[in-house]
């Protein structure tokens, strides 16, 4: 069985630790024959690189810097999966302008229409002085999960498989990045990013990370926040994201009837469960 899994992770780190976001999913979570392709916009032009070694691409990015990054991973033919694994991945981000790897944006008009469109887009990035905390870098992941099971258990079974796979695929380097985010099976919850949802509601973006953007089927955040929201919801399940009870970050599994309705929807729409003040206090 194969199905899609959408994950969005974010971090407020402003140094090169941001590259750890692109080390998820870890290499061991993929079926054999993975090959990486990257395309990024930096210093006014698009650059490309392919490699079987993801670290070579990340090393290049640490030297070049970037404003926008698009990475894909394709795997070769594989035998039937004995355990859940990822077979393909698409990863995308627009780097936080406050991060050290943010590339300077050219001030003069570029010859390429496409490049000049990007230049103008990145030149009017968010005014960081509006916020008390570092502006987060958000990374989107559309992942294909391959498992030996069948679809008899529906979304519930696929979500359980996804949670176990995500926990096994998180690199240890992310542990000190204070990551937060959300996810859903089949990718139907994907919208415009967590910051877009918070801003659309006129909420406090500085709260994002300590609080959640919305109630999604899968949520990732600080242990205290996950404990609080799980208690408010009543029947949400939670586990350490990293190995060991000392994990600073936890992952929640939310029952479908308490999570946000699938796309299409407006970015300012909250899940039905948010009408409960005990739940709403954990949302930005």
Taking only the tens place, the pLDDT of each residue in 3-49 is: 999 999 999 999 999 999 999 999 999 988 899 999 999 999 999 99
Confidence at residue 81, expressed as pLDDT on a 0 to 100 scale: 63
Residue 26 has which token pair? 């870890």
Confidence at residue 154, expressed as pLDDT on a 0 to 100 scale: 85
Counts for the chain of helices (H) and strands (E), in that order: 6, 10
Task: Give dist(CA 116, CA 107) in Å, integer.
Answer: 10
Confidence at residue 126, expressed as pLDDT on a 0 to 100 scale: 65
- More reliable by pLDDT, 31 or 276: 276
Model confidence at 262, pLDDT cuts 50, 70, 90, reads: confident
**pLDDT digit string, tens, across residues 110-128:** 999 999 999 999 988 767 8
Average pLDDT for the chain: 92
Residue 187 gets the label, from left (phi > 0), alpha (psi -120 to 50) or beta, of: left
Task: Give dist(CA 235, CA 81) in Å, integer.
Answer: 31
Q: What is the DSSP pairing of strand 249-253 with strand 237-240?
A: antiparallel
**pLDDT digit string, tens, across residues 143-181:** 999 988 765 578 889 999 999 999 999 999 999 999 999
């Amino acid at each position: 069985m194969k199905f899609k899994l959408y994950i969005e992770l974010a971090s407020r780190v402003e140094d090169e630790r941001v590259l750890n976001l692109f080390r998820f999913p870890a290499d061991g979570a993929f079926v054999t024959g993975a090959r990486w392709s990257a395309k990024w916009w930096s210093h006014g032009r698009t650059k490309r690189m392919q490699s079987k070694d993801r670290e070579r691409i990340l090393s290049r990015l640490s030297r070049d810097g970037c404003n926008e990054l698009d990475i894909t991973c394709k795997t070769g033919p594989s035998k039937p999966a004995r355990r859940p694994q990822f077979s393909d991945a698409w990863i995308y981000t627009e780097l936080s302008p406050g991060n050290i790897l943010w590339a300077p944006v050219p001030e003069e008009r570029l010859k390429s229409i496409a490049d000049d469109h990007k230049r103008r887009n990145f030149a009017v990035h968010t005014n960081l002085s509006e916020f008390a905390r570092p502006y987060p870098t958000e990374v989107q992941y559309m992942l294909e999960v391959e498992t030996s099971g069948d679809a008899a258990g529906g979304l519930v079974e696929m979500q359980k498989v996804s949670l176990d796979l995500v926990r096994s695929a998180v690199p240890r380097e992310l542990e000190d990045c204070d990551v937060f985010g959300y996810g859903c099976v089949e990718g139907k919850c994907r919208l415009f990013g967590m910051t877009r949802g918070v801003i659309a509601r006129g909420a406090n973006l500085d709260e994002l990370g300590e609080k959640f953007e919305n109630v999604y089927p899968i949520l990732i955040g600080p242990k205290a926040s996950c404990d609080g929201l799980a208690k408010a919801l009543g029947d949400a399940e939670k586990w350490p994201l990293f190995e060991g009870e000392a994990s600073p970050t936890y992952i929640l599994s939310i029952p479908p009837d308490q999570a946000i309705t699938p796309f299409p929807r407006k970015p300012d729409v909250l899940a039905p469960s948010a009408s409960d003040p005990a739940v709403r206090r954990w949302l930005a």
